[in-house]
């Protein structure tokens, strides 16, 4: 449960990491790879979200309604820079909380104009395992300072191209990827920083389009395969799947995973404040 709740937020942030036209092989996200054509398309494309957007996901473990996760977009200002402030929360509920209590909060502050992260907060309590981390991104000095408040330690990291935190990645990519460039079977990587483990590459593979039956009706989705480490938690490297709406909102609809013991699924359960119409396929 601990690893999956984290991967829910991670997958949300990596749902649509495919803004370049692929010529073959894997592609690493890099700000220097953007072409003037892609920049022009970005300028002409309307934002996929707005302050007030709220998403709620229900997680199932077998027959148990294991927990809920929410994402809420607000607005704020950091060092005179207008930013989005996104708050993500995950909690176990009901019978599941008797066995393993989870109370996680993630916060990200990122630029309204450029999508760069300025501050990231991670406060978790997962069955007694706790963390209290804050990362401040200094883009003028090209460094990030991670403050581990629980252990009273600080770490410095050199910023790399297109660096994102756990939540800012999702919203940055919602506004920057080009749907027409998605190529089935191609994988990409994105540089992430959200813990004292340091900056790492997360790989994601596009699997094509699929129509899902949801509580709202049928929804056309892009399907992705985040590549995870097999072993103690996941059965295989390709045990995690992610579906994202193919409309202008580009929101996660479903996440599923085959664990070493059992399987778990997260479905979009409620939403509010979407900037665009949520498209449902009418029979």
d(CA 254, CA 48): 18
278 in a domain, yes or no? no
Determine, yes or no, domain membership for 84: yes
> Over the stretch 234-281, which tens digit does the pLDDT of each residue have?
344 446 888 999 999 999 999 887 765 567 788 999 999 999 999 999
Task: Judge whether 247 lies within some domain.
Answer: yes
User: Hey, which residues does 91 pair with through a beta bridge?
Assistant: 68, 103
Identify the pLDDT of residue 190.
75
Question: With helix as H, strand as E and coil as C, how does 105-161 read?
Answer: EEEEEEECCCCCEEEEEEEEEECCEEEEEEEEEECCCCEEEEEECCCCEEEEEECCC
Q: How far apart are CA 273 and CA 73, in angstroms?
A: 9
- Say how many domains are in the chain: 1
pLDDT at 7: 47
Q: What's the distance, Cα to Cα, between the start and end of the chain in Å?
A: 37
Q: With respect to residue 65, please indicate whether it lies within any of the assigned structural domains.
A: yes
The answer as to whether 283 is a domain residue is: no
Domain-embedded: residue 282: no
Domain that holds residue 23: 2-272
Within a domain: 32: yes
Residues 6+ away with beta carbon under 8 Å from 215? 267, 269
Q: Look at residue 44 and tell me whether its pLDDT is greater than 80.
A: no
Q: Considering the domain boundaries, does residue 57 fall inside one?
A: yes
Burial 220-235 (b: 16+ CB within 10 A, else e): bbbbbbbbbeeeebbe
Global pTM? Answer: 0.82
pLDDT digits (tens, 9 = 90+) for 168-221: 988 887 887 777 778 899 877 778 888 888 888 777 788 999 999 999 999 999
Distances (CA, A) of 214 to 144, 145, 245, 275: 40, 41, 11, 20
Query: What average pLDDT does range 55-62 have in this prediction?
Result: 84
Do residues 278 and 216 lie in contact, with contact meaning Cβ atoms separated by under 8 Å?
Answer: yes
């Amino acid at each position: 449960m601990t690893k999956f709740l984290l991967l829910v937020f991670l997958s949300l942030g990596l749902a649509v990491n495919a803004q370049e036209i692929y010529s073959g092989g894997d592609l690493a996200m890099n700000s220097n790879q953007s072409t003037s054509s892609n920049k022009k398309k970005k300028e002409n494309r309307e934002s996929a979200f707005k302050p007030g957007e709220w998403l709620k996901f229900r997680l199932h473990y077998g027959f148990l309604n294991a927990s809920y996760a929410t994402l809420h977009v607000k607005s704020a200002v950091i060092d005179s820079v207008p930013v989005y402030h996104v708050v993500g929360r995950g909690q176990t509920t009901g019978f599941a909380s008797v066995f393993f209590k989870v109370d996680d909060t993630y916060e990200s502050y990122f630029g309204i104009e450029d999508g760069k992260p300025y501050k990231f907060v991670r406060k978790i309590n997962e069955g007694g395992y706790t963390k209290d981390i804050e990362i401040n991104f200094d883009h003028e000095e090209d460094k990030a300072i991670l403050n581990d408040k629980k252990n009273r330690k600080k770490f410095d990291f050199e910023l790399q191209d297109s660096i994102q935190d756990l939540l800012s990645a999702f919203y940055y990519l919602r506004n920057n990827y080009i749907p027409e460039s998605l190529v089935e079977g191609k994988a990409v990587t994105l540089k992430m920083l959200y813990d004292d483990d340091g900056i790492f590459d997360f790989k994601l593979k596009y699997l094509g389009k699929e129509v899902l039956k949801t509580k709202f009706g049928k929804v056309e989705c892009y399907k992705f395969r985040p590549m995870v480490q097999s072993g103690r938690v996941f059965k295989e490297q390709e045990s995690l799947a992610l579906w994202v709406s193919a409309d202008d909102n580009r929101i996660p609809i479903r996440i599923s995973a085959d664990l070493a013991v059992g399987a778990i699924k997260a479905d979009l359960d409620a939403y509010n404040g979407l900037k665009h119409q949520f498209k449902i396929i009418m029979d």
